[in-house]
Amino acid sequence: MSKPASPYRPIPVTLEKVVQETPNIKTFFLKPEQPVPFRTGQFIELTVPGLGEAPFTPSSSPADPDKMEVTIMKAGVVTDRLHSLEAGAKLGVRGPYGKGYPMDDLYGRELLILGGGVGLAPLRSLLYQIFEDMDKFPRVMLLYGAKTPADLVYPSQIAEWTKRDKKLEVLVTVDAAANGWKGNVGVVTTLLPKVQLNLDKTAAIVCGPPIMMKFGTL
């Protein structure tokens, strides 16, 4: 099927699966009627027919345009409806839009990736891209934090990432420990002293709550 003539007409997609990540965050696995190529960091408009649409950054790998994953926090009218849907629901996608992450400017540099809460969702797409090009980075540091252990998204994948590559360092923290948590306790910026940074050779990518972004970039 050819691309719609109008950029305002969504590409039909089928919701294939929904995964509950945290009490208020779900990942939606989408199958579009035609490929939707995107660059990591770009965003799409996800349409709920008869209700409206909202912008989200895909959390899946840009290497596979035949499918798309979007991790969404329940926070409004559209997201409330999305969280009520089950597999088989029909949705729409417009886009992608935006420039995405400037990958050409990042190659050859050490990377500090700082994420908080659902902010790890768009960063996961970036991580997939980095994994494809790991030989182009001397070092990658992922620092991620959430309010409690139950609020950590992708916990099983994070565990896999810690063992993926010796050039990849993964540190995780929570604001408040619970459920036998034995890791670091404190806001995500408390992890910064735990990594040695060569500021002249390091690029930082930050995504999370505004207060985290403010103190994470000082």
Q: Residue 46 is part of a domain; what is its CATH number?
A: 2.40.30.10
pLDDT in tens, 153-197: 999 999 999 888 899 999 999 999 987 899 999 999 899 999 988
Count of structural domains, the chain: 2
| Same-domain pairing of 124 and 74 | no
Q: Which of 78, 97, 116 is the last residue of a domain?
A: 97
- Considering the domain boundaries, does residue 91 fall inside one? yes
| Same-domain pairing of 90 and 118 | no
Q: How confident is the model at residue 31 (pLDDT cuts 50, 70, 90)?
A: very high
Q: What domain range includes position 21?
A: 11-97
| Same-domain pairing of 87 and 108 | no
- Quick check: helix, strand or coil at residue 46? strand
- Considering the domain boundaries, does residue 51 fall inside one? yes
- Whole-number Å distance between alpha carbons of 47 and 125: 21
Task: Tell the burial category of 131 from Cβ atoms under 10 Å away from its Cβ (0-12, 13-18, 19+).
Answer: middle
pLDDT in tens, 86-130: 999 999 999 999 999 999 999 999 999 999 999 999 999 999 999
| Same-domain pairing of 44 and 125 | no
| Same-domain pairing of 77 and 116 | no
- Considering the domain boundaries, does residue 193 fall inside one? yes
- Considering the domain boundaries, does residue 63 fall inside one? yes
Q: Residue 152 is part of a domain; what is its CATH number?
A: 3.40.50.80
Task: Tell the burial category of 153 from Cβ atoms under 10 Å away from its Cβ (0-12, 13-18, 19+).
Answer: buried
The 10 Å Cβ neighbour count of residue 169 is 16
- Considering the domain boundaries, does residue 140 fall inside one? yes
The amino acid occupying position 47 is: T
- Whole-number Å distance between alpha carbons of 201 and 73: 34
For the whole model, what pTM was predicted?
A: 0.90
- Whole-number Å distance between alpha carbons of 197 and 1: 48
Q: Which of 97, 126, 160 is the last residue of a domain?
A: 97
| Same-domain pairing of 196 and 113 | yes
- Considering the domain boundaries, does residue 1 fall inside one? no
Q: Which two tokens stand for residue 37?
A: 């190529």
Pairing relation of β-strands 25-32 and 68-73?
A: antiparallel
| Same-domain pairing of 112 and 82 | no
| Same-domain pairing of 86 and 124 | no
| Same-domain pairing of 120 and 51 | no
- Whole-number Å distance between alpha carbons of 17 and 118: 19
- Whole-number Å distance between alpha carbons of 147 and 175: 5
The CA distances from residue 96 to 29, 56, 62, 132, 161, in Å, are: 17, 10, 11, 21, 27
| Same-domain pairing of 19 and 46 | yes
The 10 Å Cβ neighbour count of residue 75 is 13
The 10 Å Cβ neighbour count of residue 178 is 11
Percent of the chain whose pLDDT exceeds 70: 92
| Same-domain pairing of 131 and 182 | yes
